[in-house]
Structure 1
Amino acid sequence: MKATKTIPALLSCHALKDLLRSSSQKISVLEADIGKQFENEFRHGHIPKARYFDQLECTKPSKLIPRGLPETKCFESYLSKMGVSNSDHIVLYDRSPIGFYATSRAWWLFK
């Protein structure tokens, strides 16, 4: 997952709206969260075409990494079931009160 010449790494809400309307590239918008605690809020409202991305799916906590890391095949399967493929341009956002925690972790998982 990296920025392209046509799509920057950081987007404003207006730029995303324009991108979703006009891009010929497949865009996957994911609302990132850690666990299912915000899934109900997602159901009540989210960015159009967004899908809920639970980062704890496929993870096993350890002493070293309490939230765990996903097993590769399970992670790929989870994304595939969501309709996300390797050729998609992925846009991440979250509702975190601090505004970046879930999104930055999701970005790291995709790296």
Structure 2
Amino acid sequence: MAQDDPVVSAQWLHEHLGMPDVKVLDASWYMPVENRDPWKEYQVAHIPGALFFDLDGIVDRTTDLPHMLPSEEAFAAAISELDIKNQDKVIVYDGKGFFSAPRVWW
């Protein structure tokens, strides 16, 4: 993986799973009309060692608008709870492959 490349291959991930500086986040989220629960799906199946990134929980709680970015302090606290450090390589995926993972990565 090139240092500035934001995408890794499945092979790269397989080779690096379990390394202490590689953190994998399952950022699955679904539209309410889909009647899917990303947390329950995570509990049933996820990439080994992946942590659940709660897109509904890590938000700005001062607004009624959904999925607004939290304050820097709130985001740092949430990331710290996931044991993610500045030097870690963070890999983000979701159940659709293109839906919520890019928002978390951004």
Bin for the TM-score computed over the shorter chain: 0.7 to 0.9
Equivalent position amino acid for 1:102 in 2: S
2:21 pairs with 26, 33, 38, which one?
26
Structure 2 CA distance for aligned equivalents of residues 100 and 85 of structure 1: 25
Structure 1 unmatched ranges of 5 or more: none
After superposition, the C-alpha distances for 1:27-53 in whole angstroms (9 at most, x for unaligned) are 010011348930111011111110000
Aligned to 1:106: 104
Aligned to 1:80: 80
| Cα RMSD (Å) | 2.6
CA gap of 1:92–1:58, structure 2 versus 1, over 3 A, is: closer
Alignment of 1:57-72 (within 5 A): 57-60=57-60, 62=63, 66-72=66-72
Aligned to 1:4: 3
**CA displacement at 1:105 relative to structure 2:** 0.5
The alignment covers a number of residue pairs equal to 99
Contact 1:57 1:70 in 2 (8 A): no
Taking structure 1 as the reference length, the TM-score comes to: 0.74
Q: Report percent identity of matched pairs.
A: 28
More strand by share: 1
**CA displacement at 1:55 relative to structure 2:** 2.2
After superposition, the C-alpha distances for 1:3-30 in whole angstroms (9 at most, x for unaligned) are 617xx42122122001226x5x600100
Contact 2:29 2:94 in 1 (8 A): no
Equivalent position amino acid for 1:15 in 2: W
Taking structure 2 as the reference length, the TM-score comes to: 0.77
Structure 1 CA distance for aligned equivalents of residues 59 and 29 of structure 2: 11
